[in-house]
Structure formats: structure tokens, C-alpha cells
């Protein structure tokens, strides 16, 4: 079995690599290997079971065609200032140009033409003035909101288009290793994702690793085994905040998603908001090592009474410890331990009072949790002091921008952790120091989110079409 291009992972980066190659109508034999299921067969049983049942061999929320993007809120950030550090590699102008190019592809497959955050200039100025007063920076970023259910429809169309165009996709297949000979990538070793049996070698002229955030741990192992040049990246540790829509109404209407960055005292670490979901729902996603991580999403049609968003504190390590992924996993394990394997939720006021939250207190609150099986408890017993102080001080700053944000009933869910890969050393064509081996998207450590990962895929597809 030999292919011109073997793509590991059917997330946005891998998908858009294949899409661009198909668009150029080259006679190339393309294979995408995906651990999970086709998008039309991805099902989370929690909708019926009302609680996470820890699906095996993988979580359908994070794994399958389109990756975690299929079950996210489906927001496309249309500014090069948002979504990771790809502009540092290719230049800001090129990044912005291909954001527009990639956005048009999403539109062609049925994305909503409406863009949030373009109007209400005076109201935006008012929010920015309050952010400056609070010591925060408001990042301007137009948003195209696909919506969870609409994103799945769009990616289903893309899946069908790729298959109809002759791209081979092997679902339920896990890549366990990369075949490297004489400093060059020759193929991958794949097994059945469920049984871990039926090992076979798949050869390719070029190997593209687009394993997503979920593949960060595996890719780190590959880097160490095969000498793929990389350096330690960042881990973002934080919480998902949930508050009533009435509190966030002004920001939701003007910006839809407020991207705010601060460096709160005393530690001055970067802290930011991420993935704001007006009328959204808090969700749980499970990783292979049985970690339960909180996330959030929003639908186009179905709405809740609450808005949720992440507050993330960035942590970097150098010497003697430089393993950010392992650090994040240990934090998640501690929080999961206190929640007996489930997501923990605590009221902001209870944190200030130095006490845990009890279920009867949640039942009496104005803010009703949209994650019904979250366990009321004490996040501060497991979250690092530095991280917790960063988050609490950031919440106080947010209260200046959004009065009522620091309400005693504001809910904090944990752990929310973004396992970004170690940063892979890449050239301008995204090739590693191993000849014929390329790395894309969130697994490369260069992007964060749907749009920038998709852009990286488009550029990869263009290069492979030359």
C-alpha cells in the first residue's frame, strides 16, 4: 500500500490539505487515517443517558471526522491576531489573505454568511474603554458562527465531497508509529483503533501529521523517538465560567465573543478569555487517559439562559522541568479525583469564602448549571495556587468590563485545559527536519482553533500540489 500523501488525522488541518489538493485536480493518491468515526456516525450518548458514560475506545466528542470541531460551537475567527502563532511562521499578511480564502470555502459548503462583531462601533469603543480601565486588552476579531449542529452539516458535506473526489479515508484506524529511514519519512504503522490489532505499514511519499490537540501526547512520543526537532510549548490551565445571559447581554449583542487578554498581579502571567458561547451549554470531553475536561459550545437554534466562556492562564516551563503537557495532565487528574471522574463546579462566592459548594446551594442559585452531571465541590483544593490567583484576579478585572461578572453565583467549572503540542520546528512549507514529514494544525503547536488549522491545511495542500 503506497500513497502520494498520507494524512494522519481528519481534523480541519488534514481535511483542508486534502480539499486543496482535490481542488487542484491532481492525479494524486491521497489517504486520510482517522482514529474515530465518519461524522454522520459520531454520537454522544450523554444526550439520552444524561451523564458521561466514558465511551471506549475513544470519546466521540473529540475523535472522528472534523475532530473536536464537529462538537464545538463552530466559531471561525476571521483575524490573524487570533488562533495561535502561525503568522510568525508565514507572515501576518499571508495569514490574513488565506483566512479570507479559507472562509470562502466554508461559505461554499453552507456556512452562515452573517459575521458577528463588525458593527456597533461606538458600543465597541465603550467596551474597549472599560477594558483599558480594567487593565485588559480587547482584541478585535470578527466571528463567523457556524453553530454546533450546522458545523456538523458542513463537515458532512466536506466528507462526502472528499470521498466522491477519490480521497480514501480509513476510519477506526490508529497510527502507532512513523516509519523513518535514513532521515526521511517513508510511511506509518497503523492498527485497528478498537482492538489495537491488525498492524500494517502504509507507505507514502509524503507524510502529513495533523493529529489535533488530542494527539499532542502521541506526537511528543514520536518527536523523542525519531529526533523530530521541537521545543516545549505552552499549556493553558483554567476554568469555564457560566453566568446568566442578562449579565453578558451587552457584550454578546455587540461582539458575540469578547476576546480579552490581561496580565494580572502578582504573577503577570498571560490570562485570556476563550470560546464564549452566548445561550450556550457547558460540555465534557474525555481524553484517552481517562481525563474529563470541561468545554463549551452553542447551537444556532437551541439556546440556554446562560453564557459560558473559558478563562485560561498560560504556563511555560524551561529548566529543570519542561513538560507542559504532563503538568496539565497532573492538574486535571487532581481535579477529576475530587469530582470522582467528573467535572467539578464551584460558585465564585464560595471560593472567596474559602468553602466548597454544595448541590443544594447550586439548586438555590439564579445560575442553573447547563452541565447537569457536574459535581459541586472545591476547585481550589486541586488547582495550582498561581493559576487560581490569576483566574480570580482576572475575574475581578472582568467585572469592570461586565458588571455582575464577579457575582457570588457565577459558576466555575474545572478543569479546562488546552493540551497544545510541543512546538514543532518547521520550515515555511511546514516540513520538519525529517525529510517528507510535515506537521500541521494544533498538533504542530502553531495553531489554536478551527480557522488557523484550516488555513494551515490549505497552505499545505497548495505546497503538495506544486
pLDDT in tens, 131-174: 999 999 999 889 998 877 788 899 999 999 999 999 999 999 99
The predicted structure's pLDDT at residue 47: 67
* 325 grid coordinates: 503537557
Residue 72 has pLDDT above 80, yes or no: no
Structural contact between residues 439 and 430, judged by C-beta atoms closer than 8 angstroms: yes
Rounded CA-CA distance 298/313 in Å is 23
Q: Give the pLDDT band (50/70/90) at residue 128.
A: very high
Q: Give the pLDDT band (50/70/90) at residue 63.
A: confident
Q: Which residue has the cell 485536480?
A: 25
Structural contact between residues 338 and 382, judged by C-beta atoms closer than 8 angstroms: yes
Q: Which residue has the cell 439520552?
A: 48
How far is CA 272 from each of CA 21, 67, 186, 232, rounded to the nearest angstrom?
36, 24, 41, 20
Rounded CA-CA distance 289/296 in Å is 21
Residue 19 has pLDDT above 90, yes or no: yes
The predicted structure's pLDDT at residue 131: 97
Q: Which residue has the cell 450556550?
A: 280
The mean predicted confidence, pLDDT, of the chain is: 92
The predicted structure's pLDDT at residue 56: 75
Alpha helices, DSSP H, located in 256-406? 324-338, 348-352, 359-363, 385-401
The predicted structure's pLDDT at residue 271: 98
Quote the percentage of the chain above a pLDDT of 90.
74
The C-alpha R_g of the chain, in whole angstroms, comes to 21
Closest CA to 419 of 261, 220, 177: 220
Residue 5 has pLDDT above 80, yes or no: yes
How much helix, strand and coil, in percent to the nearest 5, is found in the chain? 35, 25, 40
Rounded CA-CA distance 94/84 in Å is 15
Please tell me whether residue 256 adopts helix, strand or coil conformation.
coil
Please tell me whether residue 451 adopts helix, strand or coil conformation.
helix
**Mean pLDDT throughout 427-441?**
97
Length of the chain: 466
Q: Give the pLDDT band (50/70/90) at residue 60.
A: low
Residue 140 per-residue DSSP state:
P
Torsion of Cα atoms, 234 then 445 then 282 then 11, to 10°? -170
- 335-352, pLDDT tens digit by residue? 999 999 999 999 999 999
The predicted structure's pLDDT at residue 331: 96
Q: What are phi and psi of 2, to 5 degrees?
A: -135, 135
Report the interhelical angle of 12-23 vs 92-108 (nearest 10°).
80
- 82-114, pLDDT tens digit by residue? 988 999 999 999 999 999 999 999 999 999 999
The predicted structure's pLDDT at residue 46: 66
Highest average pLDDT, of 19-28, 386-395, 422-431, comes from: 386-395
Which is more confidently placed, 32 or 275?
A: 32
Which is more confidently placed, 55 or 168?
A: 168
Please give the full DSSP string across 158-208, using - where no structure is assigned: HHHHHHHTT-EEE-SEEEEEEEEETTEEEEEEEEETTT----EEEEEEEEE
* 365 grid coordinates: 442559585
**Mean pLDDT throughout 296-310?**
92
The predicted structure's pLDDT at residue 146: 86
The predicted structure's pLDDT at residue 186: 97
Closest CA to 215 of 421, 54, 456, 426: 421
- pTM recorded for the entire structure: 0.85
- 359-377, pLDDT tens digit by residue? 999 999 999 999 999 999 9
**Mean pLDDT throughout 284-307?**
89
* Domains of the chain as residue ranges with CATH: 2-111+147-231+420-464 (3.50.50.60), 121-141+234-418 (no CATH)
Residue 40 per-residue DSSP state:
G
- 228-260, pLDDT tens digit by residue? 999 887 889 999 999 999 999 999 999 888 899
Please tell me whether residue 308 adopts helix, strand or coil conformation.
strand
Residue 73 has pLDDT above 80, yes or no: no
Amino acid at each position: 500500500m503506497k500513497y502520494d500523501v498520507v494524512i494522519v488525522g481528519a481534523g480541519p488541518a488534514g481535511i483542508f490539505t486534502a480539499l486543496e489538493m482535490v481542488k487542484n485536480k491532481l492525479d494524486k493518491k491521497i489517504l486520510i487515517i482517522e482514529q474515530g468515526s465518519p461524522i454522520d456516525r459520531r454520537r454522544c450518548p450523554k444526550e439520552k443517558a444524561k451523564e458521561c458514560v466514558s465511551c471506549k475506545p475513544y470519546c466521540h466528542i473529540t475523535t472522528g471526522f472534523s475532530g473536536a470541531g464537529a462538537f464545538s460551537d463552530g466559531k471561525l475567527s476571521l483575524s490573524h491576531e487570533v488562533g495561535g502563532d502561525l503568522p510568525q511562521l508565514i507572515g501576518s499578511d499571508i495569514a490574513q489573505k488565506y483566512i479570507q480564502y479559507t472562509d470562502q470555502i466554508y461559505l461554499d459548503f453552507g456556512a452562515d454568511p452573517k459575521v458577528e462583531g463588525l458593527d456597533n462601533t461606538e458600543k465597541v469603543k465603550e467596551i474597549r474603554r472599560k477594558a483599558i480601565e480594567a487593565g485588559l486588552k480587547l482584541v478585535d476579531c470578527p466571528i463567523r458562527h457556524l453553530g454546533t449542529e450546522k458545523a456538523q452539516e458542513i463537515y458532512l458535506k466536506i466528507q462526502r465531497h472528499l470521498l466522491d473526489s477519490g480521497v480514501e479515508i480509513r476510519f477506526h484506524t490508529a497510527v502507532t508509529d512513523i516509519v523513518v529511514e535514513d532521515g526521511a519519512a517513508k510511511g506509518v504503522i497503523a492498527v485497528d483503533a478498537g482492538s489495537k490489532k491488525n498492524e500494517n505499514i502504509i507507505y507514502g511519499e509524503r507524510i502529513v501529521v495533523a493529529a489535533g490537540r488530542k494527539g499532542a501526547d502521541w506526537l511528543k512520543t514520536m518527536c523523542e523517538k525519531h529526533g523530530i526537532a521541537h521545543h516545549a510549548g505552552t499549556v493553558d490551565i483554567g476554568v469555564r465560567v457560566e453566568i446568566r445571559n442578562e449579565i453578558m447581554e451587552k457584550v454578546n449583542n455587540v461582539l458575540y465573543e469578547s476576546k480579552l487578554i490581561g496580565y494580572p498581579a502578582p504573577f503577570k502571567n498571560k490570562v485570556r478569555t476563550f470560546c464564549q458561547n452566548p445561550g450556550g451549554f457547558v460540555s465534557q470531553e474525555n481524553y484517552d487517559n481517562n481525563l474529563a475536561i470541561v468545554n463549551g459550545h452553542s447551537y444556532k437554534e437551541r439556546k440556554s439562559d446562560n453564557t459560558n466562556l473559558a478563562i485560561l492562564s498560560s504556563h511555560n516551563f524551561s529548566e529543570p522541568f519542561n513538560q507542559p503537557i504532563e503538568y496539565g495532565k497532573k492538574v486535571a487528574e487532581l481535579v477529576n479525583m475530587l469530582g470522582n471522574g467528573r467535572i467539578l463546579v464551584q460558585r465564585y462566592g464560595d471560593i472567596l469564602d474559602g468553602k466548597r459548594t454544595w448541590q443544594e446551594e447550586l439548586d438555590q442559585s439564579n445560575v442553573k448549571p447547563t452541565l447537569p452531571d457536574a459535581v459541586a465541590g472545591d476547585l481550589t483544593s486541586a488547582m495550582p495556587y498561581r493559576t487560581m490567583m490569576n483566574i480570580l484576579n482576572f475575574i475581578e478585572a472582568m467585572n469592570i468590563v461586565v458588571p455582575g461578572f464577579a457575582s457570588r453565583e457565577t459558576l466555575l467549572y474545572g478543569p479546562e485545559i488546552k493540551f497544545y503540542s510541543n512546538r514543532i520546528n518547521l520550515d515555511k512549507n511546514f516540513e520538519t527536519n525529517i525529510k517528507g514529514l510535515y506537521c500541521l494544525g494544533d498538533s504542530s503547536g502553531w495553531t489554536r482553533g478551527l480557522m488557523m488549522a484550516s488555513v494551515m491545511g490549505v497552505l499545505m495542500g497548495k505546497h503538495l500540489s506544486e
